[in-house]
Structure 1
Amino acid sequence: MSSLLSLISAFSPGGAVLRLVGGAGSCSGRLEVFHQGRWGTVCDDMWALPGAAVVCRELGCGDPLSAPRGAFFGEDRVWLDEVNCAGTEAALSDCKTRPWGDNDCTHKEDAGVVCSGNLHPSQVAQIRLVNGSSRCAGRVEVLPNQQWGTVCDDNWDLQDAGVVCRQLGCGTALSAPGGARFGRGSDHIWLDEVHCAGTEAALSDCRAEPWGASNCDHGEDAGVVCSEVAQLRLVNGPSRCAGRVEVLHNQQWGTVCDDSWDLQDAGVVCRQLGCGTALSAPGGARFGRGSDHIWLDDVNCAGTEVALSDCRARPWGESNCTHGQDAGVVCSGVSGVPGAGGQPG
């Protein structure tokens, strides 16, 4: 393998075996390797973060941020296919792969790399979800150039939200609410017209308008609700599918006021918990009075939402209720539950 490296280096400009082109700098872009006197690309079959790690290390570009696929950075000749790196190799040529030029790919499958070194600040933007019930739900905010800002909801959909959830380690996307569902931001609107294929490792890998260019206002701020939110529970009932509704916000459990609480709202809770359909939506602290915050009031669900946090309501923590008005739910996932149909047991 070392003789192959020497041979390639002897014919490549500046002794380089590989390069990244079409990105924001020398440390991000389409991956190209030099072979038989010409540059060519790497197919994205089996392409993943360990391979990107090898490339970043070999180029002295720091740590891998993502391994974009699908010709995100454009197209060229395909030299390598089915590159399978453990991530510990010193060079890409040490990784397992098909023979040079042997591939079944098109240029739509060209592999890319984004490393942490020498990048435009937008390429390493941090991301967070704010004003939701946990770090896995809320308004999407990104941090390029040391300033947090929002994402416009133009074309915002479940595929875009899915990339955010994966990037944050929050599972899959349950919903992609727009219209400033989690409140209006107050700083820059950094991204607009985001269009993710759904396979990207980071939101900054997705196609979008140039950073900071948008025709939106903060009434269009995008939000995300991920599957690993663990934001809802039913307590003090006969099982996990019946009881007082409690939600987790700012790391504290609290209750929901029964103002406007009805079967549609209860139905969203039952579906979110995997407890079937709603049998009743008892109010008046039917399952006992809570003792902590009253987090939600005037909840108004259409009934189609996948999470209670998607429903319209007053801002978190704003209510005119007492715990004597704590809302409850009885779902069909429980048999022989006192209070089914709204009648006392």
Structure 2
Amino acid sequence: MDGKPEGTTPPGTKTPFLEKGITPCGAHGENLALETLGVKNVARRIMCVLDHQTICTLMRVCKSLGNRFKEYKFYIGAARFLKGREKHTAKIKCSRCWLTKRYCACASLDQISKKIHLDFEVILFIHYREVARKMASNTARLLPICVGARVYIYGDIHSEDNMLEDIRKMMRRGGALVLFPSDDSLTSQQFLNKYSKKGGDGKNQATKNGIGLIIIDGTWNNARRMNTFIPGCVPRVKLSTPSRAKFRNMRKHSEKGRVSTMSAFIHLLEELGVREELTCPLGDALNLIIEKYYSQSHKPVCEVVNSRKKFAKRAKDRTKAEGGEQKSSEMEPERDKKRSRVT
């Protein structure tokens, strides 16, 4: 470190950790300067050691760090958001299926999960906002219930580090792939060619080799940022023919090629050649959640794929047409009365 002995603080460096006798490295007791530590290391130690009030103080002091403060703010803000929403959702929603406690589907999902035994590992990399909100229309929460997927949260430093370590182990064992439609993504058939045997088409071979699947869950903008967090050495795979006709949808999408997370996972398994007796129970679980969702929200089934503006415009035109027909039917008896008076 430029000839300076390790553990010394350069002159002029602001060290807000001096309050309460806390060093930057927490329990390790290393008196390193804040400037010499990585952003994630500092944020990790902040969240481990300090309480909420001290974190707020540090956020004000750390603004002197310039652009790097945005990264500190992201991780600390994510922790506060998760903690704040947890109190609200715990009162009314099931912590597993994310439906209201009245419409909880955990018992039925546990029965379905007994029929599913996959030969490979599944990682669910989910955005912290999806976890905090626990939206009933989110289908990704079926993965840990049905296939035992390991859940890692984007925005939680410990969870991110554990996921990266898990991915390294996957790559050493049999490899891994990320389901994400980026520009450099391979189709499932192109990916299977790497695992194909001589004289075979390679289907189901990739999953037998113990390859791991990484599923990203979040809004489109969030998912793109999450994709850049995963190492580039892990190949990206996209669906060849994503279809929305197989399963009903709980959310409106502006593009026809976009499907729900669970639906995309089922399509990927089918393209990788996983047996139908394993993918069918997954479809049953998804249909069950969809039925529960519409029973809970009292909404009609959303089958048409349109943007919000087009959908609103069509609904407005429909109401206008119905109103015009009603007015014309009301005017007809009045016209008949006038004619009878004239005659």
What TM-score does the superposition give when structure 2 sets the normalisation length?
0.24
Q: Which has the higher helix share?
A: 2
More strand per residue:
1
Rg (Cα) greater in structure = 2
Report the TM-score when normalising by structure 1.
Answer: 0.24
